[in-house]
C-alpha cells in the first residue's frame, strides 16, 4: 500500500515556508510546466532513492521467442503494470532546472536570458556530461545485431558511437554463435605462434590494444564471412532544446548529469565564472557516479512463477559455453545493469517477474515516509539556495549532510533485517567485477597548484 498521509501540496507548502514564505524569490506556479520548488522536491526524492535504494517494486514482462537479450528500459518491452525503470527526463527538463539554478528566465526551448550563457553552451554542457556519465558508470547498455559483415585480415572498423564494448559474439553463415573473449596480441603470440598468418572459420577472441581507436582485431582472422552481435555502451543521442529528446540515463541519475554540466558552465573563463560553486557541482557529479556504480538493479526474479537464479552474463558465457545457440524454456537470468540475458534462449512466450530498484515515484500523495520527510526537505532546501550562492548557500551544506546521514541510518536498518542483503544486491553488479570495465593504473601526471 502506498503512503497516504502527506499530500503533495502540504509538503510543497512546508518547503515554500523554508525557502521563501511570500514566494518572492522562489515560486511554485502550478500553471507552469516547471514549478520551481516542485522541481527541487522531485530531485530530492530521486536523490533519496539513490542514497537509500528504497523504492523496490515488482513488475512482469513477456519474452519473445528467439530473443535472448532484453533491456529493462526498452520502451518496446511489454510490461505490467508499467515500466518502472523507463526513461522520461528530457533535455528541456534539465535546461529548466539549470535556468532556475543560474537565475535565468525560464525558457527551456529558446534562450531568453542574460548574455552570461547561451542555449548552445547549456545544451553542449549537458551532452558532454551525459556522455561522460555513460562512460564513467556503464549504466546504459544496448544489444545490437544489425548487419555488420567482417572479412579480410580480421581487423575491422566499428562506429565511433561505440564508447564501451561489453560483449561480442561471432555469428557464422549457418547462424551459429561463438562468444569472443577479450584478449591481446601478447597472449595470442604466446599460445599460438604464427596465428597472424593463419585464418580459421571461427574467431574466438578479440583485441583493441594495438589497433587504432575505431578498430577491432579478431583472433584468428575469420576465413569465412560472418556477422557480430554485440552489447555496447553507445554515445547518447544528440541533445537539442527544440526537438527535446530524452537525456538517455535513468531518471534517478539525471541530477548528476545536471550538476556536471553546471560545473562546466561555472568553470568557463567568462563573466559566468564561479570557481567555488563550480567545485561544488563537480563534487556532486562525482557523488552521482560513485552512487550509480554501487546501486543494484535487479534483486530477485521468477520465470513463470518459479525462482530463477540471477548470475552475471559473463558467468553464462563461462559456465554454459554456446548458450545462445540453445533454445528452450529459460531457467537462468544473466544480469548486467539493466541488460538481461535469458538462458536457454526462450522458445516461446514466458512470464518474467522482476523485483527491481525502480525509479523514485513522485506524485500526490508524496511517497516519502513521515520520518524521512525532513531529510528530503533539507535537501530540496539546500539545492534551492544554490542560486543565492555565498554564505546563504554555504549555510545549507549541513542539509546535504542530513539526508546522507538519514540514508545511512535507513540502510543500516535494512541490512539488520536481512542476513544476505549484500549478496542479493551485488548480483546485478557482478558483471563489472567479472568482466571489468576499468582497472586502476598508475597516475601519469600529478599536478599541484
Q: How much is the pLDDT for 437?
A: 86
| Domain end marker among 343, 359, 375 | 359
Tell whether 213 is covered by a domain: yes
Looking at the structure of the chain, the number of domains it has is 3
Which structural domain, as residue segments, surrounds residue 415?
Answer: 1-55+364-428
Least trusted range by pLDDT, from 235-244, 414-423, 434-443: 434-443
Q: Is residue 392 part of a domain?
A: yes
* 67 and 148 assigned to the same domain: no
Indicate the range of 9-13, 197-201, 219-223, 382-386 predicted with least confidence: 197-201
pLDDT at 431: 92
Q: Is residue 445 part of a domain?
A: no
Share of the chain above pLDDT 70, in %: 97
User: Which residue has 512466450 as its cell numbers?
Assistant: 349
Say yes or no: 74 and 45 in one domain: no
Same domain, 313 and 351: yes
| Domain-embedded: residue 5 | yes
- Cβ atoms of 206 and 182 within 8 Å: the answer is yes
The pair phi, psi for residue 27, each rounded to 5°, is -110, 165
Domain assignment present for 102: no
pLDDT at 370 over 60: yes
Above 80 in pLDDT, residue 372? yes
Residue 230 resides in a domain: yes
Cα gap 278→265, rounded to integer Å = 8
Residue 249 lies in a domain: no
Q: What is the reported pTM?
A: 0.94
Dihedrals phi, psi of 283, to nearest 5 degrees? -65, -35
pLDDT range class, residue 446, cuts 50, 70, 90: low
Which value, to the nearest 10 degrees, does the dihedral of the CA atoms of residues 46, 49, 54, 55 take? 30
CA distance 405 to 412: 11
pLDDT at 23 over 90: no
At 144 the pLDDT is 87
Which of the four pLDDT bands, split at 50, 70 and 90, describes residue 161?
A: confident
**Residue 147 in this model has a pLDDT that exceeds 70:** no
Q: Is residue 187 part of a domain?
A: yes
Residue 84, pLDDT score: 87
pLDDT 10s digits, 52-66: 999 999 989 999 999
Number of Cβ within 10 Å of residue 17's Cβ equals 10
Cβ–Cβ under 8 Å, residues 351 and 324: no
> With bands split at pLDDT 50, 70 and 90, how would you rate the model's confidence at 150?
low
The per-residue pLDDT for 151 is 56
Dig out the grid coordinates for 202 from the structure: 571461427
pLDDT reported for residue 191:
84
Closest CA to 172 of 129, 217, 214, 204: 204
CB 138 within 8 A of CB 163: no
The whole-number pLDDT of residue 200 equals 82
pLDDT, greater one: 288 or 26: 288
For the cut 70, the answer to whether the pLDDT of residue 148 exceeds it is: no
Please check whether residues 227 and 183 belong to one and the same domain.
yes
pLDDT at 149: 60
pLDDT of res. 225: 83
Residues 221 and 164 in one domain: yes
What gap in Å lies between CA 431 and CA 434, rounded to an integer?
5
Domain boundary among 234, 254, 276: 234
Q: Indicate whether 448 pLDDT > 70.
A: no
Average pLDDT over residues 424-429: 89
- Copy the grid coordinates of residue 282: 563537480
pLDDT digits (tens, 9 = 90+) for 76-99: 887 887 888 889 999 999 999 999
Render pLDDT for 275-334 as a digit per residue (tens, 0 to 9). Answer: 999 999 999 999 999 999 999 999 999 999 999 999 999 999 999 999 999 999 999 999
If asked whether residues 1 and 37 sit together in one domain, one would say yes
Q: Are residues 28 and 45 in the same domain?
A: yes
Write the CB contacts of 267 (distance below 8 Å, at least 6 apart in sequence). 273, 275, 278
205 by DSSP, 3-state: which? Answer: strand
Segment 331-356 mean pLDDT? 95
**What's the pLDDT score for residue 443?**
63
> Mean pLDDT score of the chain, rounded to an integer?
92
Contact in structure between 434 and 314 (CB atoms under 8 Å): yes
Nearest to 90 by CA among 126, 120, 121: 126
Give residue for cell 574466438.
204
Q: Are residues 20 and 46 in the same domain?
A: yes
Res 152: pLDDT: 62
Domain boundary among 234, 265, 290: 234
Q: Are residues 179 and 220 in the same domain?
A: yes
Clarify whether residues 147 and 230 are in a common domain: yes
Q: Residues 112-145: pLDDT tens digits? A: 999 999 999 999 999 999 999 999 999 999 998 8
| Whether the predicted pLDDT of 8 surpasses 70 | yes
Q: CB–CB of 165/182 below 8 Å?
A: no
* Per-residue confidence (pLDDT) for residue 193, from 0 to 100: 82
* Residues 352 and 370 grouped into a single domain: no
Cβ atoms of residues 101 and 113 within 8 Å = no
Residues 69 and 36 in one domain: no
Pairwise pLDDT comparison (357 vs 23), residue with the higher score? 357
- Tell me the pLDDT band of 166, cut-offs 50, 70 and 90: very high
Rounded Cα–Cα distance for residues 122 and 95 (Å): 7
pLDDT tens-digit map of 263-278: 999 999 999 999 999 9
On the question of a cis peptide bond just before residue 220, with omega within 30 degrees of 0, the verdict is yes
Q: What is the mean pLDDT of residues 337-366?
A: 95
Amino acid at each position: 500500500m502506498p503512503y497516504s498521509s502527506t499530500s503533495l501540496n502540504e509538503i510543497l507548502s512546508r518547503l515554500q515556508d523554508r525557502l521563501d514564505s511570500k514566494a518572492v524569490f522562489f515560486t511554485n506556479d502550478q500553471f507552469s510546466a516547471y514549478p520551481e520548488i516542485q522541481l527541487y522536491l522531485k530531485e530530492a526524492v530521486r536523490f533519496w532513492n539513490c542514497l537509500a535504494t528504497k523504492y523496490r517494486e515488482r513488475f512482469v514482462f513477456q519474452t519473445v521467442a528467439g530473443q535472448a537479450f532484453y533491456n529493462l528500459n526498452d520502451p518496446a518491452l511489454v510490461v505490467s503494470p508499467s515500466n518502472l525503470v523507463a526513461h522520461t527526463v528530457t533535455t528541456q527538463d534539465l535546461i529548466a532546472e539549470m535556468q532556475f539554478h543560474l537565475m535565468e528566465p525560464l525558457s527551456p526551448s529558446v534562450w531568453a536570458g542574460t548574455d552570461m550563457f547561451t542555449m548552445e553552451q547549456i545544451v553542449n554542457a549537458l551532452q558532454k556530461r551525459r556522455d561522460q556519465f555513460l562512460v564513467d558508470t556503464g549504466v546504459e547498455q544496448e544489444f545490437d545485431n544489425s548487419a555488420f559483415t567482417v572479412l579480410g585480415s580480421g581487423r575491422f572498423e566499428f562506429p565511433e558511437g561505440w564508447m564501451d564494448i561489453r560483449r561480442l559474439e561471432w555469428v557464422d553463415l549457418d547462424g551459429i554463435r561463438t562468444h569472443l573473449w577479450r584478449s591481446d596480441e601478447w597472449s595470442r603470440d604466446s599460445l599460438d605462434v604464427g596465428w597472424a598468418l593463419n585464418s580459421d572459420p571461427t574467431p574466438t577472441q578479440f583485441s583493441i590494444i594495438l589497433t587504432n581507436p575505431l578498430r577491432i582485431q579478431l583472433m584468428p582472422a575469420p576465413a569465412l564471412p560472418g556477422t557480430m552481435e554485440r552489447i555496447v555502451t553507445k554515445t547518447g543521442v544528440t541533445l537539442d532544446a527544440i526537438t527535446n529528446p530524452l537525456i538517455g540515463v535513468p531518471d534517478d541519475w539525471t541530477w548528476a548529469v545536471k550538476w556536471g554540466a553546471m560545473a562546466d558552465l561555472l568553470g568557463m573563463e567568462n563573466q559566468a565564472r564561479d570557481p567555488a560553486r563550480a567545485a561544488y557541482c563537480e563534487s556532486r557529479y562525482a557523488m552521482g557516479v560513485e552512487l550509480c556504480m554501487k546501486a543494484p538493479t535487479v534483486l530477485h526474479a521468477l520465470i513463470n512463477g518459479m525462482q530463477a537464479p540471477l548470475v552475471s552474463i559473463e558467468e553464462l558465457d563461462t559456465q554454459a559455453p554456446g548458450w545462445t545457440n540453445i533454445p528452450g524454456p529459460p531457467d537462468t537470468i544473466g544480469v548486467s545493469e539493466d541488460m538481461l540475458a535469458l538462458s536457454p534462449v526462450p522458445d516461446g512466450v514466458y512470464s518474467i517477474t522482476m523485483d527491481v530498484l525502480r525509479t523514485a515515484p513522485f506524485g500526490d500523495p508524496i511517497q516519502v515516509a513521515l520520518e524521512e520527510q525532513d531529510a528530503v526537505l533539507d535537501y530540496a532546501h539546500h539545492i534551492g539556495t544554490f542560486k543565492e550562492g555565498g554564505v546563504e548557500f554555504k549555510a545549507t551544506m549541513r542539509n546535504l549532510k542530513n539526508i546522507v546521514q538519514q540514508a545511512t541510518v535507513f540502510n543500516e536498518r535494512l541490512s539488520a533485517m536481512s542476513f544476505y542483503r549484500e549478496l542479493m544486491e551485488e548480483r546485478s553488479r557482478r558483471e563489472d567485477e567479472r568482466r571489468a570495465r576499468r582497472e586502476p593504473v598508475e597516475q601519469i601526471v600529478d599536478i599541484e597548484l
